[in-house]
Amino acid sequence: MSLASAITTAQTIFSNTGKQTAIVSQNIANVGSADYSRRLAMMGVDNDGQPYLKVQRAQNDALFKQTVASISDDAGQSRLLFGLQQIQSAFGGADYPTSPSTYMTAFRSSLQTFAASPSSITIARSAVADARDVANALNSASTVVDQVKATTDKEIGEQVVQLNEYLSAFEKVNYTVIGMLANGKDASDALDKRDSLLKSIAGIVGISTTMRQSMDTVIYTSDGSVLFETSARKVELVGKDGSSSPPFHVEIDNEELKPGTGGNTTAQGTLAALFQLRDDIAPMMQNQLDEIARGLIVSFRETDQTIPEENREPGVPGLFIDSSSTDMPTAGTISTGLAGRIKINAAVDDNPMLLRDGGFNNTSTSTNYTYNRDSVAAYTGRLDGLIEQMGTPQAFDATADIGGTATVMGYASNSIGWIEQLRKAATSADETKGAMVAQMQQTLSNETGVSLDEELSLMLDLEQSYKASAKLLTTVDEMLKSLLDMVR
């Protein structure tokens, strides 16, 4: 080897070692970054026999696609569970201590106590207070359900805006990747950014991707709609009446996004879960609450005691009333919003003995709705009848999803069972999907992420390479000095 070639070799080693060191330093600086793929310095020899260094980005397309899919599943499941927990909070959380069912049990117990001491005004007032708790529980639960629907409406709008922003950013970075690779430049940073955006998009809507020869990426939704192809497709809110406010559904490339179904939801991404909450679970819970309220009004109705018994039905509201109507609700049919309007008849505040005697609907000229017509202090007929009515099956609207016939007490209990079954299924599925996404992210990180131990080991190797190059230059320097000394 000539001295000139030795110097050239040393310079090349210095140059390549410097580039490798920069790459290793960059890797070390990004240890723990979920959106960074390890850079690899690949050495090669060109057609002229000259060594060169090429930066290669670690990647595993199959693992990445599985990770993206698991992110969608987990995001949808987590958002559904959060919504179910919000609804559960309307009933006091675990064990449902403030549910209508719990308060109805306490109220029935108060009625039984009152029936045992029908002349006690104190016990009568206690029973009235328990009845008010039942109505308040229904009002509160209805309010929370309305809040869940309002929250999801707002969040759907925010998610659509966010998704469009992600797609716009993806379009720009996708062009950057294509351009840099076409010009032989290192596109690693742009590819990291593109993968990060894909993960963010997957958190909102389920996606699948296809890679073209130029590294151009096409994105489809899990339903098959085109989300991105060369340019971003428009994601828009479409109102029920054709307007965009309030939002009724989301369209992607003119295809409606479908909501998820079930406690172990089919929703991929938060949008589908939000629609499941807003358009399925919350309305169904509201229907059940409305039916409980209607069942209470029916159970505590009054009938005209002066006419033949076969002509007395359907009667008129007694203890429980609809604050916006004096009529009995339609039998076996959901009265929309009734749970938010139900209250106890104000007349019972002044005269709690109306609960024992009846007469909420008496007028100044008529006492037709009095059951205790002889004003007997020990009268229990009306109280016994009310207790019996709470345990008597009646017709409920089957579209509320918990049966068509039940006692009002049983129906309220079934409603709690319905939401609890959904919540338990969602909790179990959330744990499974959360574990899956964590495992997939860890596996992907093991394949494409940075290992500090490996990078530090490589840094030591590069240090040895640098020392060897320095030694070579030192040797050449000494040889040149010896040669010059000989010439002198």
**pLDDT by position in tens, the chain (length 488):** 555 555 555 556 556 666 777 788 888 888 888 899 998 887 666 666 666 677 889 999 999 999 999 999 999 999 999 999 999 988 988 889 999 999 999 999 999 999 999 999 999 999 999 999 999 999 999 999 999 999 999 999 999 999 999 999 999 999 999 999 999 888 999 999 999 999 999 999 999 999 988 889 999 999 889 999 999 998 998 875 545 455 578 999 889 999 999 999 999 999 999 999 999 999 999 999 999 999 999 999 999 999 999 999 999 999 999 999 999 999 999 999 999 999 999 999 999 999 999 999 999 899 999 999 999 999 999 999 999 999 999 999 999 999 999 999 999 999 999 999 999 999 999 999 999 999 999 999 989 988 887 877 776 765 666 666 656 566 666 666 766 667 66
In a domain, residue 446? The reply is no
In a domain, residue 415? The reply is yes
Which residue do the tokens 């959904």 mark?
Answer: 422
Degrees to nearest 5, angle at CA 454 with 450 and 457: 140
Together in a domain, 255 and 328: yes
Together in a domain, 140 and 248: yes
pLDDT of residue 424: 96
Degrees to nearest 5, angle at CA 438 with 434 and 442: 170
- Comparing CA positions, the residue from 253, 236, 232, 252 lying closest to residue 174 is 232
In a domain, residue 115? The reply is yes
Which pairs from 475-480 meet CB under 8 Å and 24+ separation?
475/6, 476/3, 476/6, 476/7, 476/10, 479/3, 480/3
Query: What is the residue range of 206's domain?
Result: 66-435
State pTM to two decimals: 0.89
Contact 39, 20 (CB under 8 A): no
Given CA atoms 193, 252, 62, 433 in this order, what sign does their dihedral have? positive
pLDDT of residue 449: 86
Q: Is 280 left (phi over 0), alpha (psi -120 to 50) or beta?
A: alpha
In a domain, residue 445? The reply is no
pLDDT of residue 379: 97
Together in a domain, 52 and 74: no
pLDDT of residue 241: 53
In a domain, residue 440? The reply is no
Together in a domain, 340 and 475: no
- H/E run at residue 119: none
Together in a domain, 245 and 205: yes
Cβ neighbors of 11 (< 8 A, separation 6 or more) are: none
Together in a domain, 150 and 191: yes
Helix (H, G, I), strand (E, B) or coil at 290: helix
Together in a domain, 174 and 263: yes
In a domain, residue 212? The reply is yes
Together in a domain, 373 and 289: yes
| Number of domains the chain contains | 2
Beta bridge partners of 43: 53
Together in a domain, 459 and 389: no
Together in a domain, 302 and 407: yes
Together in a domain, 290 and 334: yes
In a domain, residue 149? The reply is yes
In a domain, residue 441? The reply is no
Beta bridge partners of 302: 316
Together in a domain, 53 and 70: no
